[in-house]
Amino acid sequence: MKYFLSLLLVLLVNVLPAQTTEKPFIKLVEPRKVQTETKTARNYIVGSTCKNCNLTVNGQPVKVYPTGAFAYELNLKPGNNEFNLIAFSAPGKSANKKLLFNYTLPAAPDTIKTLEIASIEMLPHGNLFVMPGDMIKFKVKALTGCTIIANGNIPLYEMQENKMPGIYQGEYEVKENDSFLVSKIPFSITDNTGKTVTRNSNNWISMFGPLAPNIAVTKGRLSHLLFGLGTDRLGGAKIGYVDSAVQLNIIGKVDKLYKVKLSKTRTAYIDDDAVDFLPKGTFTPESLTNRWTVYGDSAYDYVQLGLSVKLPYQGFQLINPSRIVVDVFGATNNTNWITQLENVKEIKNVFYEQVEDGIFRITIELKHTQHWGYSIYYNGNILTIRVKHQPKDLSLSKLTIAVDAGHGGSNSGAGGPTGSSEKMITLAISLKLQKALEAQGAKVIMTRTTERFFDNKERILFYRDSIPDLLVSIHLNSSSDPITVTGTSTFYRYIGFRNLSHAIYKRMLELGLKDMGNNGSFNFMLNSPTEYPNALVETLFLSNPEDEMKILDEGFQQQVADKIVQGIKDFLNDCKNDEQ
């Protein structure tokens, strides 16, 4: 009997899997180099190790998440800071990595000690084509107590900026008789002995000549006007997209942006690759308004206004009550009446006003509280505003939902401590969302169903042609602070589409996630279409180890997809029987 028990024990040892211990490793996503030069005291070490490993940094224990991810905050002292990372899973099994951070305190601003011009800044930034009335600002850092002249005739005045002597500023209004050439601007500095030194600007200024063509037409399907010259990682703030062959009065240029005169009081900017010029002598774009028609078909209502030329425009949404407002630049009222047919289903009323010379405003009152989308385009010279009807049946099974998996291909998006990528996780969530919506009977249009690159411009045109009832774009957020910044958020651009993103957001918070807000006026390309309600969902912060751990779990991904579906259903339920 003892023999058989011993034999059975041997067999069990050979059959049952042995409990193995992972080989320790340390893989960092931040910092990316062993030696880091920095001018900030706060830095982070972010990465991953084996899932059953312990980790220390200079002997201090660091939390390792079940995924193996970790994030550790550093508070550096000036000079060299050494850190020794040790990952270990069992006695004799360890891995270590040494890091060096060289923290240099920012140099205190210093004054110029010799007769020289240290720096020149011109505003607007970049090479300029200017016209009379344009303002140019100059800022120079130089030796204090001197006289500085720009372009031979523009005096600059010394300021006490942050108690720093030697900062000179001045501004100049371009005159009719100015003769700026395509050349850099000379700046001269003269001390109290009469000695003078000259330095040229990095950029040039030139007059926008009277013989140059100044009327341009938009080209392509995604030409858009910008409010101003400001920009961020999402690009400049867009006024909106305009149709092709729209005529623009060009009055200047800042680097690659043409300055456009919309009216006496309004200007805008447009990319130079978005326009072609018409021959010199083309009339300035302006028109009297002509015949109006307001009518509908089975899916849309239409407002049509006759013009003699394709003029630029700006559309926006208002709520309480819901209205679509379109400003037509260069148009002057010459209308005696508006014909409104009874076959309209969404338009309640249409009226107009001449806001000021060169700005003609069309206001379209809607029957429903919810905006369902509109587009503005030209049929010949007839300005057309196409207004989408609220669907007759607001059940998911009767609607077409677009699901956009953010990023893809060469555009990886955010990254997590374990090396996870936003593009892969957004695709996984989007595929689950597709199945969840289809289970409700919805028709689903997907940007991508595989790991591939899809340019944002392609996405916009794809959905402009597909015209879904709603669009939801799936993303993950990222922060330079991987420890304290966490949570979920949603984004919309137009106030008329806020209810969709807010309904989804409230459901996402039911997952116990930190409240990072339902954010409006979001200047992102996928939120820029006006043709359909759209929302962007930043599900979690992939940069945070705990958020990453959650979103890597397929069960949690499914919960996210289910909450988005519930949010869409909440939005639709709020729209039912909701006439103004």
Assign domain 117-205 to a CATH class. Answer: mainly beta
Contact between 28 and 46 under an 8 Å Cβ cutoff? The reply is yes
Task: Please tell me the pTM assigned to this model.
Answer: 0.92
pLDDT at 107: 85
Q: What's the CATH code, domain 26-103?
A: 2.60.40.10
The neighbouring-strand residues paired with 88 are: 54, 94
Q: Please compute, for residue 198, the number of CA atoms within 13 A of its CA located in the half-sphere on the CB side.
A: 8
**Strand-pair category, 347-356 with 323-329:** unpaired
pLDDT in tens, 534-578: 999 999 999 999 999 999 999 999 999 999 999 999 999 999 877
Q: Cα–Cα–Cα angle for 40, 42, 46, nearest 5°?
A: 120
Supply the pLDDT for residue 336: 85
The dihedral through the CA atoms of 203, 204, 205, 207 has a sign that is negative
Is residue 232 very low, low, confident or very high in pLDDT (cuts 50, 70, 90)?
A: confident
User: Is the confidence at residue 23, as pLDDT, over 50?
Assistant: yes
Same fold, 26-103 and 396-575: no
Give the domain ranges of the chain: 26-103, 117-205, 215-277, 287-388, 396-575
Whole-number CA gyration radius for the chain: 31
Going across the sheet that includes 400-405, the strands are 443-446, 400-405, 470-477, 534-541, 488-491, 515-519
Assigned token pair, 294? 């307001």
DSSP conformational letter for 227? S
Q: Are 23 and 393 in contact (CB under 8 A)?
A: no
pLDDT score for 472:
98
* CATH 3.40.630.40 for domain 396-575: yes
Is 287-388 CATH 2.60.40.3500?
A: yes
> Using 50, 70 and 90 to split pLDDT, how confident is the model at 188?
very high
pLDDT above 60 (res 4): no
pLDDT band at 5 (very low <50, low <70, confident <90, very high): very low
Q: Which fold has domain 215-277?
A: SH3 type barrels. (2.30.30)
| Nearest residue to 260 via CA among 224, 287, 234 | 224
Nearest 5°: the CA angle 170, 175, 181 is 85
